[in-house]
Amino acid sequence: MKANYKFLSFLYDLIDVLYFNRKKHSPRTALLKIIPDESVRVLDVCSGTGSNSFVIARSKAGAKITALDLSADMLKIADKKFSKANVGNIKTVVADACDTGFANNSFDVILLSLVLHEIEENLRQAILNEAKRVLNDDGWIIIVEWEQPKKLFQRMMFSLIKAMEPKGFKEFLYSDLTAYFQSFGLTIADKQSCDYSQVLTLLKNERLGNQT
């Protein structure tokens, strides 16, 4: 079983090497531009081996990051990564993304990176509802998802992703995400297109209403 998780960790690292290797165009860089240089509570949902948590923690000293995943084995790999780099502003939590156990309004930023396309619609709905519940009313949800590239070489590379992803991936990839997130009371306030990916910043509709 441990070997399987080591292999999954290798695959996640391979994504950075093959798809997110241009720092200027990487979704990791886009994340850092969105998250402020101040004290913020960040929840990295379905964190896996903690790649995003690690990048945020090293660049945002004031951030307090919770890396959440249902797999204790995956988080053990993350913990080793954090410990080796002496990164102290992250904690890992084994919990269900559909029922985190956190109180309402517990976090300023919630990150869902390459998660939603992987799961069935009922789980997707449950995770988004839970994310909205634990999000501070003045906070935002950051969604990182795949996006069909336009350049020929990148389209060829992206075909490998399509071949590996689960059933329903293409349907979600080409769906109207603006309308989809609106159905959860969330508005896309910003979109950044990166290599093979898009980074969406979502706000609660209640927040937008308070601003008008």
Q: What is the pLDDT of residue 212?
A: 47
Q: What is the pLDDT of residue 85?
A: 93
| Number of compact structural domains in the chain | 1
Domain holding 97, by residue range, is 2-211
**Which residues, 6 or more positions from 157, have their beta carbon under 8 angstroms from its beta carbon?**
18, 19, 149, 196
pLDDT tens series, the chain, 212 aa: 344 445 555 566 678 888 999 999 999 999 999 999 999 999 999 999 999 999 999 999 999 999 999 999 899 999 999 999 999 999 999 999 999 999 999 999 999 999 999 999 999 999 999 999 999 999 999 999 999 999 999 999 999 888 888 888 888 989 999 999 999 999 999 999 999 999 999 999 976 655 54
Tell me the CATH number at 85: 3.40.50.150
Q: What is the pLDDT of residue 204?
A: 97
For 13-157, where are the E strands, in sequence order? Answer: 41-45, 64-69, 90-94, 107-113, 135-146
Residue 34: enclosing H or E segment and its boundaries? helix 27-34
d(CA 115, CA 65): 18
Q: Kindly report, residue by residue over 12-42, the tens digit of the pLDDT.
A: 667 888 899 999 999 999 999 999 999 999 9
